[in-house]
Structure 1
Amino acid sequence: MKYLNQLALIFGICLVGDVISRYLPFTLPGSVISMLLILLLLSTSLLTERQLGESADFLLRNMTFFFIPPGVGILRYALLIQSIWWQLILVNLISLVVCFGVSSWTVVLVQRLQKALLGRSHG
């Protein structure tokens, strides 16, 4: 029964996020709003990790099953993919390099910021 209550809480927050998303004057996915709601609830201690823990761990451990329907859906477009496969590979390679670069520069900048803040607090 504990798992059902936790799942009901998680899905309830997702439903609230979807409703909020529908009424916003700009486009923001309901899933993003739901994650922000959970962050807000956890930050304000209105929700504890223990209230979601086991069900959230179960969902994370079995996340691969959630990718099966989109993967099967892609097969419907096999002919289209065959005609533009080289463009897809090119876009993926470019975005991979850009993502690596942005991530590495983010780490470098955060490290510099941390050193500057530590130097200021000890100085």
Structure 2
Amino acid sequence: MKIIKQIGILFTVCWLSLVIEHFLPFSFSASIIGMILLFGCLLAGVLKIEHIREKSDFLLSNMAFFFIPAGVSIINYFDLLKSNLWQIAVICAVSTFVTFGVTAFSIRLTKRLMERGR
């Protein structure tokens, strides 16, 4: 029964995010809305981490499985990717270095804030 309850909670959050996405006057991803909604419920104390721990751990440990359809569908766009290979490579390289920089800045800021709190 515990597993069904956890799956029900996760599916309810997903469903609510789809409903919210439908009624928004602008385009916004339902998966992002779902993450924000789940985070808000955890912060507010509506949900406790124990309510979803087992199923979320299962989904995280099998995350690579969920990328298979996206990876396979890339084959449909091989010609488009081939014609824009350099642009895609530059974008990937630049975004990787920007991500490294933002992550390093975030870690430094977090460490400073944690030291001030002590």
State TM-score, norm by structure 2.
Answer: 0.85
2: CA distance between counterparts of 1:60 and 1:76?
A: 27
2: CA distance between counterparts of 1:51 and 1:105?
A: 33
State TM-score, norm by structure 1.
Answer: 0.82
1: CA distance between counterparts of 2:19 and 2:39?
A: 18
SS of corresponding position for 1:46: coil
Equivalent position of 1:87 in the other structure: 87
Q: Supply the RMSD in Å over aligned alpha carbons.
A: 1.9
The total of aligned residue pairs comes to 118
Q: Looking at both structures, which has the greater relative contact order when contacts are Cα pairs under 8 Å and sequence separation is at least 6?
A: 2
Letter of the 1:32 counterpart? I
Aligned counterparts, 1:17-36, within 5 A: 17-36=17-36
Q: Deviations over 1:73-114 (max 9, x none)?
A: 101111221222122111111111122122223333444455
Equivalent position of 1:38 in the other structure: 38
Aligned counterparts, 1:1-123, within 5 A: 1-114=1-114, 117=116
**Which structure 2 segments of 5+ residues have no match?**
none
Identical aligned pairs, as a percentage? 37
Q: Are the structure 2 counterparts of residues 100 and 71 from structure 1 closer, same or farther at C-alpha, using a change threshold of 3 Å? A: same
Q: Are the structure 2 counterparts of residues 42 and 80 from structure 1 closer, same or farther at C-alpha, using a change threshold of 3 Å? A: same
Structure number with bigger Rg = 1
2: CA distance between counterparts of 1:9 and 1:114?
A: 32
Letter of the 1:66 counterpart? F
